[in-house]
Structure 1
Amino acid sequence: MTGYVVVVERDESGGYSTWSPDLPGCVAAAADYDECLQLMTEAVRMHVDGLREDGDPVPLPTAYAALVVPAA
């Protein structure tokens, strides 16, 4: 199974936002982490469906993993 990596960031208000390096403009935000991931899952699917409907190329996923590196 292939899929798109998403980056989740905590914002200044304590909420979350997420974006995908392979799908420019595809973003989601929510106050809750789980809700943010759910919204991003829906956003990715809608984004890819929209590209297909418009006859635009769907970018292949290039990022394949994420790693959290602890600060020293």
Structure 2
Amino acid sequence: MKFNVTLDRDEDGVWIVECPSIPGCVSQGQTREEALENIKDAIAACLEVRAELGLSATSDKSANSILELCGKVSTKLG
């Protein structure tokens, strides 16, 4: 699956990355690259937990394999 993510820097220079289509799926990193790698792990963990709880993979009911929500950066899981 391909997910769009948002990527911003906080006031301390830490990169914050979020996957808007998966509620609560947020990560960070000291570098942009580290943040993007970390969000891949976070997405995988969030999807695993949502599956265990019997929830849909994303909050978007019409989601298919490509989610185009509000991301500036796209990351492919897998």
User: More relative contact order in 1 or in 2 (CA 8 Å, sep 6+)?
Assistant: 2
Q: Tell me how large the CA RMSD over aligned residues is.
A: 2.0
- Partner of residue 18, structure 2: 19
Gap regions ≥5 residues in structure 2: 74-78
Question: Alignment partner for residue 63 of structure 1, among 49, 62, 69?
Answer: 69
Question: Is the alpha carbon distance of 1:14 and 1:20 closer, same or farther for their aligned partners in structure 2, counting shifts above 3 Å?
Answer: same
Question: 1 or 2, which has the higher strand percentage?
Answer: 2
Shift, 1:64, TM fit = 7.8
Runs of at least 4 residues off by over 6 Å: none
Number of aligned positions between the proteins: 66
TM-score (norm 2): 0.72
Cα distance change on mapping 1:64 and 1:13 into 2, 3 Å:
closer
Q: Which structure 2 residues correspond to residues 1-72 of structure 1 after superposition, within 5 A? A: 2-59=1-58, 60=63, 61-63=67-69, 66=72
Q: TM-score, with normalisation over the residues of structure 1?
A: 0.78
Query: Rg bigger for which structure?
Result: 1
